[in-house]
Structure 1
């Protein structure tokens, strides 16, 4: 009898799935974000709240497993972000990391997740390298990227004969990529960059580049920065009366930035985004739920991206019955996603989530009818036009290391 039991045990173990591929009773997801730095209003506590709303909605569907949300502040330092990610993987058994604002942090963490065969949901990271040369079968980039932002604005404004641009860019990966992608599209449309200024993260004084921009003969002031830097640049541009001489264009601005600045300073600003809270009934329904737990604040596109990317991930885990990163992302790709916040979405093999993008203009103060009524829709950009073609990014994903 003992011999028979031993044979049965050997046969069972031989046919069992590898331990790394088993679905745990609790799927743990880390929200790696900026809680106190220049991007805290865009992401931060709001990203954690959005993740919890996604879990709440997923659990209503009858998941078969529970979900635990962890959070950490990467302080916009790749080494700090990597340390938090490693701790989550080695100690807490985290299966996915979501949010990842700051391109340098996102690239570093995405590479680690590829090595561990776990999923990086880079919903707030903007570098297009995540779906280019640094792509991985375990990386998903949900909301937007520098290619979509830069080219979307450049092509749209060039069509209005606004073809001479002056760039003010933050001096790290995000700013360089935004300026590069916008400049390329501008040149293709017959335009040119007549000047450029790079500033460090956390800059306070933009008087020098703003004066240079107004004297350059440029038609467009292109701001290739975000967060507190962008807010300071727009505030000072308004004080200097730049908007009356040039068309301001923000290559990566969030609703929280416009709210902080007010419509007097931001009116007429052009921007591209994949989510606006007041676009339709589904976006408004989510945004009201978000505001209820965030003291009346409406969500940014990054907050929406955390919700949508995480909900799609959890559904794929349920369908694939595993937390193995490559298998879960493959499950996310199998069918178009009817996303309530971004519309029909298809995940490509390079990790790019493709959906429509919108071109907006910030309203004048007298045009706003209620709180957070800030944007006027100018045009909708279909996903196949908004994002870089899959064969143009240089993506050659390698298999996760087991």
Structure 2
């Protein structure tokens, strides 16, 4: 998948190609600053390798684009912003070790990033221990801003509850009440499965069974055989990244798309771009989509990203990185401080301006649990899907309408005295 052979990466000579070795990367501002100006450093931990590498690369694209814009507008507190990027290999262990390096050696002021939910949870705990702001860009498990919420952690992407609630009613009414689940065996998959099951039982449906597949599974044949034998109305695929690519390709090879509906919670451009025509199918939830006619600033954002990526449209991951970096800068400037507690207080309830929100309605970080309230974009892959028109948004659902309250999600926020 040719996601980031982009001019923006080449143009920033210090964004190094040593991803596999975990080499730290530095994005320098494009304006001239006085030699005495100490930079504000944002440490970004995202996968450049592993199952979720394409998603991580696009989050980095969005963040680097935001840093350019921030610096052109005067940086943070009149100081240049530098983005230091580390590869977590899509895993929690490397994520924490890279965070330790960024804090101890590189002296970053704030942390952001992650795609793997287990990495998000680990970094959230690390940030709490260091009393440092961490914004989870792309790890979805409910408990990050739910039962394991911390005052230091915010999240830009949606929760797993939002992803499942975004399309549950449509799937249940359209395809039937008997579902079989193929579940990635870690925090993200477990949370999605739990959330769908709550809604399925409440609606009077039933689970025909479920199979747990390890992260990085390449052969899904045993799980697909079990799914076929269960004869469900719907096969719910809860994988993401390369795992979902492999699963959908093999499901079509097994002919399951002719025997049952195929659907799931999260779907992303990174996955759809990697699929052959025959496997472009299903009903899903997007968290952001590049084609939003009539929504201010979206077309300009798409044009700007395409210039950086050789014609590739932005994905939800691009927007996660972009919105998160801008939000950190806005909060620090509003707080007139780099102190994490003061920046946290500035972020609580902060609404993104339209040129950063890039979607309808109010987009903000909820004060009670630090969860972004934006929109869900449920829909389906059309039969004539071709890049970049790979998805048809059926409706735009405000997150506020489907999100659990902070109390219902189990968040009990405590702050340092």
Aligned equivalents of 1:67, 1:232: Cα separation in 2: 39
Among candidates 191, 201, 225, match of residue 211 of structure 1: 225
Is 2:173 the counterpart of 1:159? yes
Deviation at 1:334, TM superposition (A): 4.1
Deviation at 1:313, TM superposition (A): 1.2
| Counterpart for residue 36 of structure 1 | 49
Is 2:353 the counterpart of 1:341? no
Among candidates 250, 261, 275, match of residue 236 of structure 1: 250
| Counterpart for residue 384 of structure 1 | 400
Aligned equivalents of 1:292, 1:305: Cα separation in 2: 18
Which shows bigger deviation, 303-312 or 205-214?
205-214
| Counterpart for residue 291 of structure 1 | 306
Q: Deviations over 1:90-122 (max 9, x none)?
A: 221212222211111111111111222211110
Gaps of 5+ in 1: 1-23
SS at match of 1:125: coil
| Counterpart for residue 136 of structure 2 | 122
Aligned equivalents of 1:68, 1:37: Cα separation in 2: 25
| Counterpart for residue 316 of structure 1 | 331
Aligned equivalents of 1:271, 1:53: Cα separation in 2: 28
The answer (yes or no) to whether the contact 2:245–2:275 under 8 Å persists in 1 is yes
SS at match of 1:195: strand
Is 2:70 the counterpart of 1:52? no
Deviation at 1:87, TM superposition (A): 1.4
The answer (yes or no) to whether the contact 1:58–1:315 under 8 Å persists in 2 is no
SS at match of 1:42: helix
The answer (yes or no) to whether the contact 1:308–1:341 under 8 Å persists in 2 is no
| Counterpart for residue 31 of structure 2 | none
Q: Deviations over 1:101-158 (max 9, x none)?
A: 1111111111111222211110111111111111011111112121111222223312
| Counterpart for residue 256 of structure 1 | 270
The answer (yes or no) to whether the contact 2:53–2:89 under 8 Å persists in 1 is no
The answer (yes or no) to whether the contact 2:182–2:223 under 8 Å persists in 1 is yes
Among candidates 342, 350, 356, match of residue 369 of structure 2: 350
Deviation at 1:213, TM superposition (A): 1.4
Q: Deviations over 1:209-250 (max 9, x none)?
A: 212212213111111111111111100111122112211113
Structure 1 stretches of 4+ with a deviation exceeding 3 A read none
Is 2:90 the counterpart of 1:76? yes
Counterpart mapping for 1:103-118 below 5 A: 103-118=117-132
SS at match of 2:378: strand
Deviation at 1:400, TM superposition (A): 4.8
Aligned equivalents of 1:164, 1:334: Cα separation in 2: 40
Among candidates 100, 109, 118, match of residue 95 of structure 1: 109
Is 2:292 the counterpart of 1:279? yes
The answer (yes or no) to whether the contact 1:155–1:186 under 8 Å persists in 2 is no
SS at match of 1:43: helix
Aligned equivalents of 2:261, 2:226: Cα separation in 1: 15
Is 2:39 the counterpart of 1:26? yes
Deviation at 1:161, TM superposition (A): 5.4
SS at match of 1:201: coil
Aligned equivalents of 1:121, 1:334: Cα separation in 2: 14
| Counterpart for residue 374 of structure 1 | 390
Aligned equivalents of 2:133, 2:117: Cα separation in 1: 16
Aligned equivalents of 2:278, 2:359: Cα separation in 1: 29
Deviation at 1:311, TM superposition (A): 0.4
| Counterpart for residue 199 of structure 1 | 213
The answer (yes or no) to whether the contact 2:241–2:271 under 8 Å persists in 1 is yes
What TM-score do the two structures reach when normalised by structure 1?
0.88
SS at match of 1:337: coil
Count of matched residue pairs: 373
Which shows bigger deviation, 127-136 or 322-331?
322-331
Deviation at 1:394, TM superposition (A): 1.0
Aligned equivalents of 1:161, 1:242: Cα separation in 2: 14
User: Residues 97 and 335 of structure 1: is their aligned pair in 2 closer, same or farther, counting only changes over 3 Å?
Assistant: closer
RMSD between aligned residues: 1.8
Deviation at 1:40, TM superposition (A): 0.7
The answer (yes or no) to whether the contact 1:144–1:273 under 8 Å persists in 2 is no
The answer (yes or no) to whether the contact 1:30–1:98 under 8 Å persists in 2 is yes
Is 2:360 the counterpart of 1:360? no
Aligned equivalents of 1:362, 1:181: Cα separation in 2: 23
